[in-house]
Amino acid sequence: MKDRYIDVEDLIAARATPPGISALAIVRVAGPGCVDAVSRAFSRPERLRAAEGRTLVRGALLDIRDGRPVDDLVAAVFRAPESPTGQDQVDFMTHGSPAVVAAVVDALAALGFRKALPGEFSFRAFVAGKADLVESEAIDELSRARTAQAREAALRRLGGGPSAEIARIRTEVHELLAACEVLLDYPEDEVAGNLTSRLPAARGAVEALAKLSAGHAGARLRLEGARVAVAGRTNAGKSSLFNRFLREERSIVSDEHGTTRDWIEASVDLEGIPIVLHDTAGLRSTDDRTEAEGVRRSRLLLESADLILYVVDGTVGLAEEDGEFLAERPDALPVWNKADAPGCGPVPEGFHSVSALDGRGFQDLALAMVARLPGGSGSADGLAGERQAALVEAARASLSDAIAAIGAGEPLDLVSLDLRAASDSLGELTGETASPDVLETIFTRFCVGK
């Protein structure tokens, strides 16, 4: 960890709620002795200084430079080690005004509180053993969860479900490693049986790691979501299909101030997967000058999409242009629209028959879309992070190699190296053996105040 994070003794402060006007905001401070420090600038210093952990103290925060009140607020006092950060900590519940929050942070700076770095509170919780790395990352994942499934899965990761499983597997690796090393030290002894007797449990650990590894794609998809582009010829019914999605699926509230009102893009919850739908139709314009730009943007959308829905008007039938597109993009999901219309032709092979008008075929289309997305058939319950998945896979490969080497009677010092590699991967996963650089990379991804 680079210098800047090293000093967990610093007094730090940061706004922990979003910016903007509201009823309340929270400014969080932490660090050894922080309650005493803020008491110096509090209207009821003795009361705050003497406050027990997990109590609320109402009063005014003052600016020590001139003694003027900055805000009337409520101080939520936490005492080490029973606090979110494991340190003495105060969450000031202030009035929800940007000017008030700025003035509170400024008054705290005058008391010696420096502005907290992104993720610095979480880092302190990690250092204090309040959360391992998988749990710490789940805090960030929880913030980013856009569907109920993603939120519940992040909450389970936060609650330590995968962490306990990983700890169990790592213990298994350590047992096998210990048996190896005893045998290395005392090759003549009758302890060889210890090693082979551990092999079934070690194979179970490989299976558990393979399961964790396989669960990643599903968890990642539920957390990060996917982009789906709706393409097709003019009048194929792209916009109607788009609107039908908005009616049938639960739309995602990314921000209560209003998700996009632009019909070109919308977010929906498709079986627990946060999907951003793009209607490429909206990009065309009758204006000659903007036509080229529209086509360029449509192409970009199609290239960046995780899935393309290609819509054909079933009452018109396949045109040459449709065939060309589908030949060029065999990964697109072809949709035969206007199934409600009397003149709708027979559904070509591989097409999904739907009616954007009355919604028929729509549920089947949604399931087909989910099945096409990487991880779609999985659940939200695995490890969502790329870093985590890579380490699980590395641990699985190393442990698997070690078991194979034992079976093949290879030298135990080589086996031991594989087992150490597996242990290191798992240790990096939970943070026990993660390097400062890795920790910094992880925690600086968090927002300030977290």
Q: Contact residues for a copy of itself (CB under 8 A)?
A: 15-26, 28, 54-58, 68-69, 71-72, 74, 76, 78, 84, 91, 93, 95-100, 102-103, 121, 139, 142-148, 150-152, 155, 158-159, 253-257, 446-447, 449-450
Omega before residue 19 within 30° of 0, cis: no
Contact 399, 419 (CB under 8 A): yes
Tell me whether residue 226 or residue 356 sits nearer to a copy of itself (CB atom).
Answer: 226
Question: At residue 411, what are phi and psi to the nearest 5 degrees?
Answer: -55, 140
Tell me whether residue 274 or residue 334 sits nearer to a copy of itself (CB atom).
Answer: 274
Pull the structure tokens for residue 432.
Answer: 């026990």
Contact 13, 448 (CB under 8 A): no
Tell me whether residue 102 or residue 127 sits nearer to a copy of itself (CB atom).
Answer: 102
Pull the structure tokens for residue 377.
Answer: 């058939």
Residue 126 beta carbon to a copy of itself: minimum distance, rounded to whole angstroms? 15
Residue 418 beta carbon to a copy of itself: minimum distance, rounded to whole angstroms? 38
Continuous segment of H or E residues that includes residue 213: helix 192-224
Contact 280, 229 (CB under 8 A): yes
CA angle 143, 144, 146 (to 5 degrees): 110
Tell me whether residue 239 or residue 379 sits nearer to a copy of itself (CB atom).
Answer: 379
| The CA-based dihedral angle spanning residues 268, 269, 275, 277, taken in that order and rounded to the nearest 10 degrees | -20
Residue 161 beta carbon to a copy of itself: minimum distance, rounded to whole angstroms? 12
Question: At residue 61, what are phi and psi to the nearest 5 degrees?
Answer: -85, 135
Residue 92 beta carbon to a copy of itself: minimum distance, rounded to whole angstroms? 11
Residue 273 beta carbon to a copy of itself: minimum distance, rounded to whole angstroms? 13
Residue 229 beta carbon to a copy of itself: minimum distance, rounded to whole angstroms? 24
Residue 380 beta carbon to a copy of itself: minimum distance, rounded to whole angstroms? 13
Q: β-strands 265-270, 89-95: how paired?
A: unpaired
Continuous segment of H or E residues that includes residue 267: strand 265-270
Residue 396 beta carbon to a copy of itself: minimum distance, rounded to whole angstroms? 30
Q: β-strands 273-279, 265-270: how paired?
A: antiparallel
Tell me whether residue 78 or residue 336 sits nearer to a copy of itself (CB atom).
Answer: 78
Tell me whether residue 255 or residue 262 sits nearer to a copy of itself (CB atom).
Answer: 255
Closest Cα to residue 102, out of 71, 140, 131, 133?
71
Which amino acid makes up residue 431?
G
Tell me whether residue 282 or residue 449 sits nearer to a copy of itself (CB atom).
Answer: 449
Tell me whether residue 145 or residue 176 sits nearer to a copy of itself (CB atom).
Answer: 145
